[in-house]
Amino acid sequence: MDALEARYRPLVDALAHPVAGASARVVAVSKTQPAEAVRALAALGQRAFGENYVQEALAKQRELADLDLEWHLIGPLQSNKCREAARHFNWVQSVDRAKLLPLLDKERPADRGPLNVLLQVNIDGEASKSGCAADEVMALADEAAALPRLALRGLMAIPEPHPDEAHRRAAFARMRALFERVRERHASVDTLSMGMSDDWPLAVAEGATLVRVGSALFGARPAKA
């Protein structure tokens, strides 16, 4: 087993058989990683990959066009990127304002299935973070669900990386409660995306159905210039 496999197998096992909570799946976050790293993980059976930057993702997708991968956009989305996002991703996890919804709907090609959409919530109310406020979620969900080229699948959050575990757990629990309310109202909702390399076990224990893991799989990312 090489180093990548030694990191990957235990993660997939743990997600399939969590100690608490239901099983979850992993989106491998491949931002800043070369296409060859994605290819190596795909060879181990991983299909879903997350990218933060549209242009970087498109370049990788071209190199990996021979593979059948599922691409998730997880980085902040600007309206001028909606066209490419709707065309080149299977999921957009970072929808956080109403303006983006009709743009994504309009740009989703008719020959592809509906674009899977998660609403990103700024669950700790941090001033610097993307995400809508918790009390805006229901209205956004109703708008997303009404658009024919979008499939409203659920919610995403990046809670504040607080040193106190109880604080982090409480943020995940608030997300779970919000998720249950949206799910009661919209039958298409089945995905709660929360948890990253440092905190995915806690997120899964609090009900995450999808975790986004980067450095714990690929190793530390090179520092940004």
User: 7 or 88, CB closer to ligand PLP?
Assistant: 7
Distance of closest approach, residue 184 Cβ to ligand PLP, in angstroms: 26
- Shortest distance, CB of residue 220 to ligand PLP, whole angstroms? 8
Cβ neighbours, 10 Å, residue 140: 24
Query: 94 vs 149, which CB is nearer to ligand PLP?
Result: 94
Based on CB atoms, which residue is closest to ligand PLP, 90 or 197?
197
Answer positive or negative: Cα dihedral of 159, 200, 197, 30. negative
Nearer to ligand PLP, 130 or 174 (CB): 130
CB of 21 to ligand PLP, least distance (A): 19
Q: Residue count of the chain, please give it.
A: 225
Minimum distance, C-beta of residue 96 to ligand PLP, in the bound complex (Å): 12
Tokens at 133, concatenated: 């406020």
Backbone angles phi, psi at 93, to 5 degrees: -95, -10
As a whole number of angstroms, the distance between CA 185 and CA 44 comes to 37
The residue number with the shortest CB distance to ligand PLP is 214
Separation CA 200–CA 210 (nearest Å): 9
Name the site residues for ligand PLP (rule: CB under 6 A).
Answer: 29, 31, 52, 74-75, 158, 196-198, 212-216
72 or 149: whose CB is closer to ligand PLP? 72
The helix (run of H) or strand (run of E) holding residue 50 is: strand 48-51
Write down the least CB distance from residue 38 to ligand PLP, Å. 14
The Cα 194–Cα 196 span in angstroms is 7
